[in-house]
Every structure is written in structure tokens, then in C-alpha cells.
Amino acid sequence: MKVLVCISQVPDTVAKIVLKDNNTVVDESGITFILNPYDEWYALVRALELKETGVAETVHVIMVGRAATEPIIRKALAVGGDEAIRIDADSTDSYAIANYIAEYAKSEAYDLILCGKESIDYANGAVGPMLAELLDTDFIGFATNIAVAGTTATVKREIDGGEETDEVNLPVVISCQKGVAEARIPNMRGIMTARTKPLKVITPATVTALTSVTHYELPPAKASVKLIAPDQMDELVNLLHSQAKVI
């Protein structure tokens, strides 16, 4: 069984975001980028677990990005991916990204395609289902457990108020979230071997993006904290009623 894991590069959660060009561009200078946690900790690790138990034969990782993203791709190889593919494009449009990946995946006959439930920067969660549609396969989202036997995958997923279990024939696209695998970090051997693992650069297909970013807005600054003495409960109740409006 061949597994493809879709990965993406995102700003570190502690990065200070600065906008420029009239708030139309994120200033990337000084930002540390990381491998999207949902892709790394859950989708990639679950794929590796399937390989380690003999269910999968190979685990490939794929990213849409320019050459500057290659250190992030090497991180995925250090975690345990066998081979990486970088589609040489730069886009924030989910439809374009899904098309780029689909055009490559069609020729490789992957049995299972995994991705994180969303990226932590744009939080769209749209690439997975779009990719499934473009590949004419089923899609299951928000997986918390994935088991594969033969040509059938059994997937547990969160739903409102509970959990459901689905069975689906391969090939299938599945988005993963917390619970599907235990996060792991690269060891020294993985880091060293990642330097020599294959990383193919693919020219993207010609795709017309459906969306574009017009501008960004930073969230409002947090208000200062007002401390109330323990013996001033009347004041606390008054503030909760008149200002916070929670009572």
C-alpha cells in the first residue's frame, strides 16, 4: 500500500505577525516557520505507524511551496517519510493547492492520502475534501483512529455530540486530528538520513485560482486586566454586569 501525506508550512505559534504593503502581505522576515502540527503529529505519524506494522509499504510526503520550504520538507523526512515531492508553486488558494497535488497523485496510484484536518494559519480545512473530489475518491474528515485491512479502511471520527465509525474502500482521502496518533520527534538517525532521501521538485499544473487574499487584519489588542480585592465582591458583581455583561 502506498501512502501520500500532504504537508504544509505555517508560522510558529509564537511568531509575531507583522503586515506590510497596506496590510496585503505578511512580512515573513523574522518569522520562524514550522511543519503544520496536524500534518506532522497526526497524519504523518499515523502513516508511519501503518508502515511500521507492515500495512503500508511506502510513505511519501508532498508540499506545495517554493525552495525556501525545503527545510520543512526535510523535517518530514527526518520524522520518517521515505520520499518527498515539492510542487514548485506558491498559493493561498485551496482549490489551486488541491489541483497541484491531485495532478501528481493521479499518476502515482496512492491507496491512502492523509492530511491534517486544517493548517493552523488559514484554518480552512478545504484541501482534503477538494483533493478527494478531484481524484474521484471518498473523503472522511476529522479522523481520530484509522485502521486498514486489505482494501478497506475503518475510520473513527468525531461528530457533534459523539463519535461515528465508518468503513470505506481504498483509495480514500482522510483528514486527521488529535487522537489518531501519538506525536513523535525526529531522532539523530532520522535527521542524518533525511539529508539523502529523495526530494523531487515538480513543475505545477496550470491552474486558475478561485480566491485571493485582498488584505489581512490583526486581532485587536487585549484589554488590560482589572484586579479586584477579595473583599470587594460587590464591585466584582457590578463589573461583570455592567462591563463584561456576563450576568
Q: Is 80 exceeded by the pLDDT of residue 72?
A: yes
Q: Is 80 exceeded by the pLDDT of residue 223?
A: no
Query: What are the grid coordinates assigned to 122, written together?
Result: 488559514
Q: Note the pLDDT of residue 143.
A: 97
The model's pLDDT over 136-160, given as tens digits with 9 standing for 90+, comes to 999 999 999 999 999 999 999 988 8
Q: Note the pLDDT of residue 141.
A: 95
- The residue whose grid cell reads 525526529 is 186
Q: Note the pLDDT of residue 96.
A: 96
The model's pLDDT over 77-96, given as tens digits with 9 standing for 90+, comes to 999 999 999 999 999 999 99
Mean pLDDT of all residues in 107-135: 95
Length of the chain: 247
Range scoring the smallest mean pLDDT among 17-21, 36-40, 73-77, 199-203: 17-21
Judging by beta carbons within 10 Å of its beta carbon (0-12, 13-18, 19+), is residue 88 exposed, middle or buried? middle
Instruction: Give the closest residue to 70 by CA, choosing from 131, 7, 148.
Output: 7
Q: Note the pLDDT of residue 156.
A: 97
Mean pLDDT of all residues in 208-228: 87
CA dist 137 and 155 (Å) reads: 15
Mean pLDDT of all residues in 189-212: 93
Mean pLDDT of all residues in 100-122: 96
42-46-52 Cα angle (round to 5): 150
CATH of 2-221, one of 3.40.50.10310, 3.40.50.620, 3.30.930.10, 2.60.40.1940: 3.40.50.620
- DSSP helix/strand/coil, 7: coil
The model's pLDDT over 163-184, given as tens digits with 9 standing for 90+, comes to 999 999 999 999 999 999 988 8
Q: Is 90 exceeded by the pLDDT of residue 244?
A: no
Listed by start position, the domains of the chain span 2-221
